[in-house]
Chain A
Amino acid sequence: MMENKKLNILIPILSVLLGFLVGAIVMLAFGYNPIEGYAALFQGAFGSMYNIGESIRRTIPLVLSGLAIAFAFRSGLFNIGAEGQVFVGWFAAVWVGVAFDLPAIIHIPLAILAAAVAGALWAFVPGILKATRGVHEVVVTIMMNYIALHTTNYLIRTLLSDGGSQSERIANSAWLATPGLQEMFGYSQIHWGFIVSIIFAVFVWFFLEKTTYGYELRAVGFNPHAAKYSGMSVKRNIVLAMLISGGLAGIGGAMEGIGTFGYMYTHGAFTNLGFDGIAVALLGANTAPGVVLAAFLFGALKVGALSMPPLSGVPAELVEIVIAMIIFFVAASYMIRLVIMRFKKEEN
């Protein structure tokens, strides 16, 4: 019998390969050349320093939203509200970036902190309702997503602009990017947020696996009855998990606000950063290192997709199919587990 650890690594890898395989079959079925298609995808993701820079840039907020979802998952909660938490985090960071004039060393952390607080507050509402009233967090977080979307749109029009659809640009001291870094990566939109995301990945790993807080959160996630029996406060842990999860998603929004864009604009629809975070967490098996790798894969895929139509004629949407299939295979991992077992047995 294979150990579970190995399986947990093997399954995401196999799922990714199978996802690409299905993508190739779809391309073939519609008369495209899959080799050309994937070559274009690779070219688009890693073909030059510019493309690499863009792929990394796309990865940064996905790492944070993925961490947010994974953190909640490990505590037994499904935070669909990352999407809304990204919005309020983005807004808070940009507001701090616009409203203050401070040295960068204070301004940037302050903007990130504001984003974390905003995201945490947004997640606090479903957290406290779940803890005290037993209201399911999925229902409340979905509602909070809509409230976030429309509230930030309103505030951008009124507070951050004069009825416009875009905020002012943040002060340079709050900007996470430097011209030097962008130049090195072929004038792409890359910014130092990748360091922020790595820092928080390490934080999440350490917090969950090595501290008494993480021990409690995971215990509550696995078995709330045993957690209560052993003297942990299930309610407090639910609220704590939502606060941290929301904070992480909020910082994901900050990465867009003070990193990629430097401003915030009114949105007609969701950014999908939060929803993609669910896929990232799932593929990353809800572990911090897994989330970083999965986010990088999805980031690169999404950037690479843009080069597929011009270079190979394959529509960019194909990548969405590949991503969807990867998720499908991870979700169907039970099936894959069975297949692996079968192979193992035939070896014996």
Chain B
Amino acid sequence: MEKYVIEMLNIRKEFPGIVANNNINLQVKKGEIHALLGENGAGKSTLMNVLFGLYQPEKGEIRVRGEKIKITNPNVANELGIGMVHQHFMLVEPFTVAQNIILGSEPTKGAGYVDIKQAEKEIKELSDRYGLSVDPSAKVRDISVGMQQRAEILKTLYRGAEVIILDEPTAVLTPQEILELISIMRNLTKEGISIILITHKLKEIMEVCDRVTVIRKGEGIDTVNVKDTNVDDLAALMVGRQVNFKTEKTPAKPKEAILSIKDLQVKDARQAMMVKGLNLAVRAGEIVGIAGIDGNGQSELIEAITGLRKSESGEIKLNSKTITNLSPRKVTESGVAHIPQDRHKFGLVLDYPIAENIVLQTYYKKPFSKNKVLSFKAIYEHADKLIKDFDVRTPSPKTKARALSGGNQQKAIIAREVDRSPDLLIAAQPTRGLDVGAIETIHRRLIEERDKGRAVLLVSFELDEVMNVSDRIAVMFDGQIVAEVKPEETNEQELGLLMAGSSKEKARQKAGEEK
């Protein structure tokens, strides 16, 4: 038997103005979980798209089970048993899970009649076998992000995948869902399936992976056994310098309240009340972190503050001026900046050049336009500056946002929002999909903004991040702030319990017992 299921040798892939992959080697053994690690824009997604047949390499060869092969398109990859779950899912929302899974390889029962019942049965069996717990008859738009992802995994399995590529699967998951995914990955490898896992979370690599290949700026650096390494070495290998995980900061010196919210009520698109009489204050010079499980009203709260969603009742004040139900433009102009959770939906016009994305809220002001005519010179000069200051890796400011790596898209948004020097900076999952080096930079930026006297509201599902960066943690549960704690006086267990709805006393007691 062959030692490696997949071998990618001396792969080179160029894009206009940039070499995304240069002489990269990747060898994956049967039944292993192989991590692919690298900074934002290092070329991980590109390399995987080459393996999946979406891009053709300029140089290099690919061997599958020892056999040299040209993967000209994803169908060829599927036939070779290679499946991929992309960084951004590719599901048809109004279809059911089963319909999505069989799309393109529909089983027919004579005369082109699609046998959906049979398919659902097979999918259910597959799902049970690997512990995926996916309901094949549920509509994709009705299920959680985590389940959508498992549906994508099922899709690859249904097509007979023996090698599954997961591109940053955990970036969009809640901590609970991440645990589930990890156990699924273990089930898969037990059955001899190999997994290539892209992730920026070094802890995950240490926990589930067997080996890890590190790439930096398109070059292959090394492949190491996870047993023989540790988080610090991996980070250094990937970034090329030592990385600080614990963010250094001085105690906050909060001043007057910038944002104050009273008895706020907000409904979601389905008219269900999601924010139920919420009270919160954020002062100048402090970072307030909102901890909570996804779906407890965080998105609705942010959308209400920023004017994207109507508030039913209650009051939002900024600098003691009421901004309840103002338009997004008015809210922005009164000094609020917003790093949105969903960067593709809200944060960027993907078909605009990066420079034009950077002036998305300021294009109508001087110097970016005069008398309604855009000044591209000013726009591009500004973009050049931010790209440099925030280390956005892009071939040029003219490059469409779509062509940037996921992490660099995020950095461009952060650059735009932080640069406006807002009184209140709302950061929703600001480091989602960023590499450890970039996370360090972003956290430093948030703290710098705080020290300049701005108010920062941080919403994150990463407890690490909330504990590390916040000066004060507000726990959100079922549409309300149920507790406020100091990061230095709490721990992950206590926060976890609070987030699940326990009272503060109970949580403290229980967390104490568990220790």
Interface residues of A (CB under 8 A from B): 1, 3, 210-213, 215, 218-219, 222-223, 225-233, 345, 348
User: Apart from A212-B373, A233-B327, what 14 extra A-B contacts exist at CB < 8 Å?
Assistant: A211-B369, A211-B372, A211-B374, A212-B363, A219-B349, A222-B349, A222-B350, A226-B346, A228-B308, A229-B328, A229-B338, A230-B360, A231-B330, A231-B332
CB of A175, distance to nearest CB on chain B (Å): 35
B356 at the interface (CB under 8 A from A): yes
Q: Collect the chain B residues with CB atoms within 8 Å of residue A348's CB.
A: 58
Report the nearest A residue to B16, measured CB to CB: A3
A-B interface contact total, Cβ < 8 Å: 68
Report yes or no: A223 in contact with B349, Cβ–Cβ below 8 A.
yes
Are A212 and B372 interface neighbours, CB within 8 A?
Answer: yes
Top 7 A-B residue pairs of the complex, sorted by shortest distance between their CB atoms:
A231-B329, A230-B360, A229-B346, A231-B328, A222-B351, A230-B361, A225-B345
Q: How far apart are the CA atoms of A345 and B327 in the complex, in Å?
A: 50
B340 on the A face (CB < 8 A): yes
B346 and A231 contacting across the interface, CB-CB below 8 Å: no
Q: Which residues of B contact A218 (CB under 8 A)?
A: 352
Establish whether residues A212 and B328, one from each chain, have CB atoms under 8 Å apart when the complex forms.
Answer: no
Contact B327 A211 (CB under 8 A): no
| Residue B364 lies at the interface, judged by CB distance under 8 Å to chain A | yes
Contact of A231 among B56, B327, B373 (CB under 8 A): B327
Q: Is there an interface contact between B374 and A226, defined as CB atoms closer than 8 Å?
A: no
User: In this complex, what residue of A is CB-closest to B375?
Assistant: A210
Question: Which chain A residues border B347 with CB–CB below 8 Å?
Answer: 226, 229
Known: A210-B374, A228-B308. A215 touches B327 (CB 8 A): no
CB distance from B386 to the nearest CB of A (A): 16
Q: Is the CB of A232 within 8 A of B329?
A: yes
How far, in whole Å, are A228 and B79 apart by their CA atoms in the complex? 43
- Chain B, residues 1-44, CB within 8 Å of chain A (1/0): the string is 00000000000001110000000000000000000000000000
B259 to chain A, nearest CB (A): 19
Q: Given A222-B352, A229-B328, A345-B56, are A1 and B16 also a contact pair (CB < 8 Å)?
A: yes
- Residue B197 lies at the interface, judged by CB distance under 8 Å to chain A: no
B348 within 8 A of A: yes
B182 to chain A, nearest CB (A): 32
A sample of 15 inter-chain contacts (CB < 8 A) reads: A210-B373, A211-B369, A212-B364, A212-B369, A213-B372, A218-B352, A219-B360, A223-B350, A223-B351, A226-B346, A228-B308, A230-B332, A231-B327, A231-B332, A345-B56
Q: In residues 274-329 of chain B, which contact A (Cβ within 8 Å)?
A: 306, 308, 327-329
Chain A hits for B345, CB < 8 A:
223, 225-226
Residue of A nearest to B73 (CB): A338
| Complex CA distance for A230 and B363, rounded to whole angstroms | 10
- Size of the B side of the interface (Cβ < 8 Å), in residues, is 32
B352 in contact with A229 (CB, 8 Å): no
Report the Cα distance A220→B349, complex, angstroms: 9
Known: A222-B352, A231-B329. A211 touches B338 (CB 8 A): no
Q: Which of B384-420 contact A (CB under 8 A)?
A: none
The residue in chain B whose Cβ has the minimal distance to the Cβ of A209 is B374
In whole angstroms, how far apart are the Cα atoms of A225 and B342 in the complex? 10
Instruction: Provide the bound-state CA to CA distance between A228 and B374, in Å.
Output: 20
For residue B345, which residue of chain A has the nearest CB? A225
Looking at the assembled complex, report how far the CB atom of A124 sits from the nearest CB atom of chain B, in whole angstroms. Answer: 22
A348–B14 alpha-carbon span in the complex (Å): 13
CB distance from A2 to the nearest CB of B (A): 9
A323 to B76 Cα, complex, angstroms: 36
A348 to B346, CA, bound (A): 40
Contact yes or no, A231 B58, CB < 8 A:
no
Tell me which residues across on chain A come within 8 A of B356, comparing CB atoms: 215
Q: Which residue of B lies closest to A4 (CB)?
A: B400
Interface string of B352-373 (1 = CB under 8 A from A): 1000100011011000010011
Q: Determine the distance from Cα of A348 to Cα of B57 in the docked complex, in whole angstroms.
A: 11
A225 engages B14 (CB within 8 Å): no
Closest CB in chain B relative to A161 CB, distance in Å: 44
CB distance from A112 to the nearest CB of B (A): 23
Among A1, A210, A218, A230, the one with the most B-chain Cβ atoms within 10 Å of its Cβ is: A230
Chain A residues, CB < 8 A from B351: 222-223
User: Considering only CB atoms, which chain A residue lies closest to B351 in the complex?
Assistant: A222
Within residues 55 to 77 of chain B, which ones have a CB less than 8 A from any CB in chain A?
56, 58
A215 nearest CB neighbor, chain B only: B363
* Nearest CB on A from B357, distance (A): 9
What CA separation (Å) do A333 and B56 show in the bound complex?
20
Chain B contacts with A in 332-348, Cβ cutoff 8 A? 332-333, 338, 340, 345-348
Asked if A1 and B373 make an inter-chain contact with CB atoms under 8 angstroms apart, the answer reads no
Cβ of B333: which chain A residues have Cβ within 8 Å of it?
231
Separation in Å of the A228 CB from the closest CB of chain B? 6
Per the bound structure, the CA–CA distance linking A219 and B361 in Å amounts to 12
State in angstroms the CA–CA spacing of A196 and B401 once bound together.
37
C-alpha spacing A268/B240, complex, angstroms: 75
Q: Which residue of A lies closest to B328 (CB)?
A: A231
Knowing A231-B332, A232-B329, say if A225 contacts B361 (CB, 8 Å): no
Contacts of A232 in B (CB 8 A): 329
Contact B14 A1 (CB under 8 A): yes
CA distance A226 to B412 in the complex (A): 14
A218 to B348, CA, bound (A): 13
